Amino acid sequence: MRKNEAGIRKEHETIRNAVGYYDFTHQLLEVTGKDAKAFLDYIFVSSIAKAKVGEAKYTTMLNEDGVIIDDVIVFRIDDELYWVSTLYISDMIKWFDVHKEKMDVSYKDITPVTTMYAVQGPKSGAVLNDFLKEKINDMKLFTIKDNMIDNVPVKIARSGYTGELGYEIYCKPDDKALVESKLEDYGVKYGISIIATDVIITSLPREKGYVLMSDLAGTNPLEVGFDWTVSWDKKFLGKAALEIVKAQGPKHSLLGFTVDDDAAVIETKEQVKINGEVVGKVTTFTYGYTIEKNLGFALIENAKAKVGDQVIIGKYTAILTDRIFYDVDNARVRNK
């Protein structure tokens, strides 16, 4: 049983209670040009145009049918310079090529020259403050700033995918050894540990309700609780289709579910049933070491099931829940 995997549990609890770090380098697209702001504002549902230098936006990219084809973080690095953090950069570049038309915008893959370390947990800020040139106490959530480690320039983002206070260090690949040595040397008194298991994409983010594209495939922002990311007062790709969904109401919801059987094994795409009728499908399943339950997400037909319903998934009984199982009020992430 995953519940009894001591090594995985230890790393999960290290992030929840102290601090851990790991190379979490995503693919990074640098976007420049006098039309970069307008272009990105059209490509993504959030108001990229309103982002100030140093701010970041979590957002989605839609096709003409209003369906999510990527979820990303967009950083505004300078007036006409943006970073887009994605896991599907080749597809994104192709999409940009199709839609940039005559706009003055350029983009290039800077992943080969950029490494990102995630430093996550309630003591992450204390560790970084001990060796960064500039203190990071005043950094707001979803911001990015220049900083220094010794005489080496880095960028620090206040962001993460764990449901805890967290930061990201962007550096050159040649500076990886320096970053790791600083984290180890200055983090030892805070109980720091390098994270090597899959908790960074399973139990930690899933307890917090965070998604992957595998959860979002075929959905629109309103079906997955991303209404807050949509700027309806501007033009964006897929808006017309999404307005129809808004008017009619979404047909599906990405919900959570729990299973009391600790030995349960549930595969993605497993059917969710009530009285033998299929009401949805599983998108993810794991064990949550903080809530001490097997948990998962499922895309559910709103007309057939709702939060609180008892369902059958394979041979297991489950209860449909809200998707956020941990830190519902976001106090941990906001460090309040």
Q: CATH no. for residue 266? A: 2.40.30.110
259 with 139, same domain: the answer is no
Question: What is the domain-level CATH number for residue 46?
Answer: 3.30.70.1400
For residue range 247-262, what is the model confidence (pLDDT) as tens digits?
A: 999 999 999 999 999 9
- Give the pLDDT confidence score for residue 336 in this predicted structure: 62
Mean pLDDT computed over 238-251: 98
Cα separation, 157 vs 159, whole angstroms: 6
Q: Which of 74, 94, 112 is the last residue of a domain?
A: 112
20 with 31, same domain: the answer is no
The proportion of the chain whose per-residue pLDDT surpasses 90, expressed as a percent, equals 99
- Tell me the whole-structure pTM to 2 decimals: 0.96
Helix (H) and strand (E) counts for the chain? Answer: 9, 17
The proportion of the chain whose per-residue pLDDT surpasses 70, expressed as a percent, equals 100
290 with 179, same domain: the answer is no
99 with 133, same domain: the answer is no
154 with 302, same domain: the answer is no
User: Does residue 52 belong to any structural domain of this protein?
Assistant: yes
For residue range 150-176, what is the model confidence (pLDDT) as tens digits?
A: 999 999 999 999 999 999 999 999 999
- Give the pLDDT confidence score for residue 335 in this predicted structure: 86
Domain count, the chain: 3
User: Does residue 218 belong to any structural domain of this protein?
Assistant: no
- Give the pLDDT confidence score for residue 286 in this predicted structure: 98
User: Does residue 335 belong to any structural domain of this protein?
Assistant: no
Cα separation, 24 vs 32, whole angstroms: 24
Cα separation, 194 vs 189, whole angstroms: 14
127 with 147, same domain: the answer is yes
User: Does residue 43 belong to any structural domain of this protein?
Assistant: yes
Q: Give the Cα-Cα-Cα angle 223, 303, 306 (nearest 5 degrees).
A: 75
- The residue written with tokens 């289709």 in the block is 241
55 with 175, same domain: the answer is no
The boundaries of the domain holding residue 120 are: 2-25+114-200
Q: Which of 112, 133, 151 is the last residue of a domain?
A: 112
Mean pLDDT computed over 188-207: 98
For residue range 201-234, what is the model confidence (pLDDT) as tens digits?
A: 999 999 999 999 999 999 999 999 999 999 999 9
Question: What is the domain-level CATH number for residue 140?
Answer: 3.30.1360.120
User: Does residue 336 belong to any structural domain of this protein?
Assistant: no
Yes or no: say if 258 and 318 are a contact pair by the CB < 8 Å rule: yes
For residue range 85-131, what is the model confidence (pLDDT) as tens digits?
A: 999 999 999 999 999 999 999 999 999 999 999 999 999 999 999 99
Q: Which of 159, 182, 200 is the last residue of a domain?
A: 200
Q: Are strands 271-274 and 310-313 parallel, antiparallel or unpaired?
A: antiparallel
Cα separation, 319 vs 255, whole angstroms: 10
User: Does residue 239 belong to any structural domain of this protein?
Assistant: no
108 with 147, same domain: the answer is no
12 with 54, same domain: the answer is no
Residue 37 has pLDDT above 70, yes or no: yes
User: Does residue 244 belong to any structural domain of this protein?
Assistant: no
